[in-house]
A and B are shown apart, each in its own frame.
Chain A
């Protein structure tokens, strides 16, 4: 896991640096980033094998715990999904995601549309909530089940004052068995931060 301040209050601050300053800044970022290493889960459920990947830095903590396909299917079938519909989501590598502002020096703002997964040299956005909801509508999933789905997801955007947090489901859209890096981004006091969870494994 790596936390990287991205830019200043103007959002494009780094683009305005002169060449010598840019070189120096690049060196600093490189030091902050360090070599890419495979992350080991901080916990593994002894019964299900579900792994938790977690990091804490600069007053913010982020964790992913895989929800196994059978867990996801059972949850949504119990809330009105047909098995075939629940299968679609269950096979999309779903994680219980927790993001919390423990002691950051200000309110944390994020949009999931700014987050990415890196998989097999390809960087892609997370599947948007609206796309899932449109798919459920097209497949005839009942309104009440779609409502449950919407509220069970990790929020698409949110602001956390110090002490605030959420947990919810987040699908990567990758096939089971994938390994990926999660790149999360948020802003605190006009500074953008990037956090990475490297080499997260999606058990099938």
Chain B
């Protein structure tokens, strides 16, 4: 139920508990049940003419800078997301499972939060199961999202060990689904 917050706003009361419920409702598109959520995609889009990835150099929520240019030789999943974006939240646990499965084989994940601050993102991560262990970068002015021609969230790209964008995924995706993993496996660095 999501009708209480505005009354609480007018009354000067905390809106956080109600907002969490509200965002959940927005996430379910007002349908009231998980079974009604739009299904996550199970496939990735292979880019026919791979091009060099745009630059990506951002700080994570711990203030550590990450530069995509330093990750040559690894397969990198770059995910643009936001905490309020329902499919972004739904796909993130699958990214963590994928990361745990393949990080030793050369997979890196950079999850780029678009337009939010550190406190918002940090507070959100505690709600995820499993919680992400890959870097959560902050694109506070959405400049990176624009540089990567992102038009909607979530949008993800896979950058091959040579630094080319080879795969795209627009919309929430179950990244550790067998079909998606099968598409990624050939591009992992050779041992």
Contact = CB atoms under 8 A, between A and B. Distances in A.
Interface string A147-178: 11011101111111111111110000000000
B182 interface: no
Given A68-B2, A147-B115, A100 B171 contact: yes
A71 interface: yes
A70 interface: yes
Contacts of A164: 41, 45, 168-171
A165 B38 contact: yes
A98 B152 contact: no
A74 B115 contact: no
Interface stretch (A3-11, A16-24, A76-84): A76-84
A152 B31 contact: no
Interface string A99-111: 0100000000000
A67 B5 contact: no
Interface in A13-69: 43, 45-48, 50, 52, 63, 65-68
Interface stretch (B19-27, B53-61, B69-77): B19-27
B66 interface: no
B5 A158 contact: no
Contacts of A63: 29, 38
Interface residues of A, number: 45
SS of A interface (majority)? mixed
B15 interface: yes
Contact of A100 (B38, B82, B145): B38
Contacts of B43: 162-163
B30 A75 contact: no
A191 interface: no
Given A79-B84, A166-B171, A70 B2 contact: yes
Given A70-B2, A70-B5, A148-B115, A96 B87 contact: no
A67 B2 CA distance: 10
